[in-house]
Copies of this chain bind each other. A is one copy, B any other.
Amino acid sequence: MENYSSELDGLFQALADPTRRAVLGRLGHGSASISDLAEPFDMALPSFMKHVRFLEESGLIRTRKQGRVRTCTLERARFAMLENWLSEQRAIWEARTDRLEQLVLAKQEFLRHEQKRETDR
């Protein structure tokens, strides 16, 4: 029962490692097998596999085994969750700006009334 927040946890955590980001970059060019993916890294295979599993659990990749080869594929849709979060943050900033604007507008309104009273006097 993963909720939105804990999915974000996993997502960001998955991205917080240079090996995993490199794998994502590689998969951006197209699917690949575990050993193809592992080849550039100076790391024991079981260690590398952990990264792959982490990526899969975060939803950023899918994997499928045929025969003795496991093929990994980028799950591009998952990146939308990141964009979403960023949008939410920006929305908050915008909201703030709006309120600032309202303050400024309210002040202008106030000043207009002041001026009006000047002329009324």
Smallest CB separation, A104 vs chain B (Å): 15
Partner of A89, one of B16, B28, B89, B93: B28
A8 at the interface (CB under 8 A from B): yes
Q: Are B93 and A28 in contact (CB under 8 A)?
A: yes
Interface members, chain A 38-77 (any B CB < 8 Å)? 74, 76
Contact A30 B96, beta carbon cutoff 8 Å? yes
Number of residues from A at the complex interface, CB < 8 A: 32
Please give me the residue from chain B that is nearest to A6 by CB atom: B18
Q: Is the CB of B24 within 8 A of A89?
A: yes
Across-interface contacts of A17 in B (CB, < 8 A): 9
Chain B residue with Cβ nearest A24: B89
A2 CB to closest chain B CB (Å) equals 13
Q: How far in angstroms is the closest Cβ of chain B from A100?
A: 9
Q: Beyond the given A8-B21, A13-B13, A30-B96, please list 5 additional residue pairs across the A-B interface where CB-CB is below 8 A.
A: A9-B16, A9-B18, A79-B90, A82-B86, A86-B86
